[in-house]
Chains A and B, each alone.
Chain A
Amino acid sequence: MKMTKNEIKNLIMEIAEYKEADIACSDNLIEMGIIDSLMVMEIIDYIEDKYQMEFPPESIVPENFESIDKLYEVLNKILP
Chain B
Amino acid sequence: MLLGGINVKISILDYLEDNLNERQDKIAFRDDSREVSYGNFIYRAKQLATYLLEREFRNITVAIYLDKTVDCLEAMFGCIYSANIYCVLDIYSPEDRIVTILNTLNAKVILTESKYLKDILDIGYEGVTIIQLDEIANDISENKLLECRRKIIDQDPVYVLFTSGSTGIPKGTVVCHNSVINYINSVIDIFKLDSTTHFGSQTPFYFSMSVLDIYANIFTGGTFTIIPKLLFAFPVKLISFLNDYKINTIYWVPTAMSIVANRKTFSAVKPKYLKCALFAGEVMPVKQLNYWIDNLPNLIYANLYGPTEITDTGTFYIVNRKFENNAPLPIGNSFPNSEVILLTEENQLAAEGEEGEICFRGSFLGAGYYNNWEKSQEVFCQNPLNTAFFERIYRTGDVGKYNERGELLYISRKDFQIKKAGYRIELGEIESNAQSIEEVKDCVCVYDSEKSKIVMYYTGNISEKDFIDLLHTKLPKYMYPDVYIKKKVIPVNSNGKIDRIQLLEEYKNENDKE
The chain A residues found within 8 Å of chain B, CB to CB, are: 17, 30, 36-41, 54-58, 60-62, 65
Which 8 A-B pairs have CB atoms at the shortest separation, nearest pair first? Answer: A37-B233, A40-B233, A57-B268, A37-B230, A37-B232, A58-B268, A57-B263, A57-B236
- CB <8 Å contact, B233 and A38: yes
- CB <8 Å contact, A62 and B234: yes
Q: A55-B263, A57-B263, A57-B268 are in contact. Are A30 and B235 (CB under 8 A)?
A: no
Tell me the complex Cα distance, A65–B253, Å: 24
Say which residue of A36, A54, A57, A58 sits within 8 Å of B230 (CB atoms): A36
Question: Besides the contacts A41-B259, A55-B263, A60-B233, what 20 more A-B pairs have beta carbons closer than 8 Å?
Answer: A37-B229, A37-B230, A37-B232, A38-B233, A38-B477, A40-B233, A41-B233, A54-B264, A56-B268, A57-B263, A57-B264, A57-B268, A60-B234, A60-B235, A60-B236, A60-B263, A61-B234, A61-B237, A62-B230, A62-B234
Closest CB of chain A to B214's CB: distance in Å?
A: 22
The answer to whether B40 has its CB under 8 Å from any CB of chain A is no
Tell me the complex Cα distance, A37–B268, Å: 20
Residues of A within 8 A of B237 (CB): 61-62
Closest CB of chain B to A25's CB: distance in Å?
A: 21
8 Å CB interface, B262-296 against A: 263-265, 267-268
12 contacts between A and B (CB under 8 A): A17-B472, A37-B231, A40-B230, A41-B233, A55-B263, A57-B235, A57-B267, A60-B235, A60-B236, A61-B234, A61-B236, A61-B237
Closest CB of chain B to A62's CB: distance in Å?
A: 6
**Interface residues of chain B: helix, strand, loop or mixed (majority):** helix
Tell me the complex Cα distance, A38–B482, Å: 14
Residues of A within 8 A of B232 (CB): 37
Which partner residue on chain B sits nearest A62 by CB separation? Answer: B234
Which partner residue on chain A sits nearest B230 by CB separation? Answer: A37
Tell me the complex Cα distance, A67–B197, Å: 38
Closest CB of chain A to B220's CB: distance in Å?
A: 29
Tell me the complex Cα distance, A62–B235, Å: 10
The chain B residues found within 8 Å of chain A, CB to CB, are: 229-237, 259, 263-265, 267-268, 472, 477
Which partner residue on chain B sits nearest A35 by CB separation? Answer: B233
Tell me the complex Cα distance, A60–B263, Å: 9
Residues of A within 8 A of B265 (CB): 57
Count of inter-chain pairs, beta carbons less than 8 A: 43
Residues of A within 8 A of B268 (CB): 56-58
Tell me the complex Cα distance, A40–B233, Å: 6
Closest CB of chain A to B392's CB: distance in Å?
A: 39
Residues of A within 8 A of B235 (CB): 57, 60
Tell me the complex Cα distance, A17–B472, Å: 11
Tell me the complex Cα distance, A61–B236, Å: 7
Residues of A within 8 A of B229 (CB): 36-37
Residues of B within 8 A of A57 (CB): 235-236, 263-265, 267-268
Residues of A within 8 A of B236 (CB): 57-58, 60-61
Closest CB of chain A to B93's CB: distance in Å?
A: 15
Residues of A within 8 A of B477 (CB): 38
Residues of A within 8 A of B267 (CB): 57
Tell me the complex Cα distance, A54–B236, Å: 15
Closest CB of chain B to A9's CB: distance in Å?
A: 19
Which partner residue on chain B sits nearest A19 by CB separation? Answer: B469
Tell me the complex Cα distance, A60–B268, Å: 11
Which partner residue on chain B sits nearest A43 by CB separation? Answer: B233
Closest CB of chain B to A64's CB: distance in Å?
A: 9
Residues of B within 8 A of A61 (CB): 234, 236-237
Which partner residue on chain B sits nearest A41 by CB separation? Answer: B233
Tell me the complex Cα distance, A30–B229, Å: 12
Closest CB of chain B to A14's CB: distance in Å?
A: 12
Closest CB of chain A to B90's CB: distance in Å?
A: 14
Which partner residue on chain B sits nearest A58 by CB separation? Answer: B268
Tell me the complex Cα distance, A30–B233, Å: 12
Residues of B within 8 A of A38 (CB): 233, 477
Tell me the complex Cα distance, A54–B237, Å: 18
Residues of B within 8 A of A36 (CB): 229-230, 233
Most A Cβ at <10 Å: residue of B232, B233, B235, B263 = B233
Residues of B within 8 A of A60 (CB): 233-236, 263
Tell me the complex Cα distance, A55–B233, Å: 13
Tell me the complex Cα distance, A39–B233, Å: 8
Which partner residue on chain B sits nearest A57 by CB separation? Answer: B268
Most B Cβ at <10 Å: residue of A38, A57, A65 = A57
Which partner residue on chain A sits nearest B472 by CB separation? Answer: A17
Residues of B within 8 A of A39 (CB): 233
Residues of B within 8 A of A65 (CB): 233
Residues of B within 8 A of A17 (CB): 472
Closest CB of chain B to A19's CB: distance in Å?
A: 10
Tell me the complex Cα distance, A69–B233, Å: 19
Tell me the complex Cα distance, A38–B268, Å: 21
